[in-house]
Structure 1
Amino acid sequence: MKKMLYPFIFLCSICSVSAQAIKPLDTIYANEHKAVALFFPSTIKHGITGSTNFVFSFNRVKQQRFGLLQAYPGAESNLLVLGSDGQVFSYILRYGKKLSQLNYFIPKEESIGNETGQTSLRFQENKTFTALDSKAENSEAIALEKLCRQLLKTPRPFNQIKQNKGVVLKMTNSMYHGDQVFVVFEIQNKSQIDYEINALDLYRVNGTKKRKSSYQEVPLKSVYQFKRPSQVSSGSKVQFVQVYPKFTLGKNERLKITLGELNGGRNLNLKLR
């Protein structure tokens, strides 16, 4: 009896150690009304969600350390993020009507492994996502380019216009396609000086500046840019497309677009519903 008992105890001890090594994934809640910001210890190389009702956006052109998460009602999913240093992070995603946390500062210790070698058991369960990620990203980029080209070929009215010192910013109504929003912009330079673009940012605004306690500006980061210029020459105009994760505006929310000049003061703010 004792001879049978010792192997049983040994197996139990192994199972106990393995169970402690596999730490359960943390859960992040999001919804369509607010953008949840995730700050990682290194810049983001890849990020993917398991379901289309969750959208994780990050700068694919210039790598940054943060991404924005939004969600729409539906079943829970997961998020897998690969950092530029090879660290891998994985989380469970759930939709929540009310959010108790909007910003997550993620320490390096929460990494589930490293793609270069040291891989944990939790990463093994999700490695199929990284294998498909680059192929899916390429096909997505091709599809986005085709849609953007078609938008520029098909004229749409620019119904949002702002002008400052000879620089005119125009914007079309948003066009929804799948889980993304396409916006066509036009910048016209009527001045005698070339206009160098520093930034063109889109924000979701809630409240008014008169009531600072309730005023909030949430940046909406573009996931794709098509033919966006760095400069608009004097006497010329350019049209380009920016693609954003799908969003909807609440009852008291509106959009704000800011266009900033590099080394100049010809800045424009366009507010709209």
Structure 2
Amino acid sequence: MKNSILFASLFLASILLEAQNITPMDTIFANDQKNVSLFFPNPVRQGIVGSDNFVFTYNREKEQYFGLLQAKPGKPSNLLIINSNGSIFTYIISYKEQLEKLNYFIPQSENIGFEQPRFTESSDSTNVANLFTDKTFYYERFCSFLLTRKQHIGNIQKRKNGIVLSLENIVFDKEELYFVIKIENKSSLDYDLNFLDISTQTRKQGKKKSIQRISQHPNFKYNVPTKVGEKEIKRMVYVLPKFSLSNDKMIVLELNEKNGERNIKMKVSNKYINNPN
């Protein structure tokens, strides 16, 4: 996996802040010449930045107590940190050419709350807490968030008879891969979707090499249409358990038309699976 920032639905932080009536902390400045170190009272489990001109790196394989922040020129954004004990820290982050401080030692007293909300009013606490324990709710909100982003993993598409199938993005979050997929109907005839399948396939090597194909069963599907009207665009998200591929394998997206022959099979290199956003 590429050493990039984990995406997460920023609605989570806003709900927590609103529910607990807490204001984010002060501004942390960074640039692209030096690393700004942030040391926390508990190991960092997740770090989220709100803009692509900031990068917060931390050890995903083994939880450690610190992370490194860098920034490119651009507008200020925000940084959300979740520690291993569920405590949450949030800061405004901004680019600054000359840095006066390179190390921040964050005390536990600066946390704004916990990933599992702690409320005193039982009726409201039960309803809000359920938002974070309901996996379907998280899937729906995070998928909706991904569909609002303009980020792309590459120009991956295939077309047939006016139907264009595109893989816009692959995002890694919480041990799962989120496939952002687009179907565009440029024809004058509606497209009735029979199924959209994602599978792994062995690259064919030589005449006697057999092709092994294994379907990947999604944990969740979001916004999948039954029909794509003429001149219409539909975007959806498939959530799959995390996996990686060796060099002799690839991903295949298969789009199948109900009662029609405008079927598309699109092959995707293993490099996009092994290096998601």
Q: TM-score, normalised by structure 2?
A: 0.47
Structure number with larger C-alpha Rg: 1
Q: TM-score, normalised by structure 1?
A: 0.48
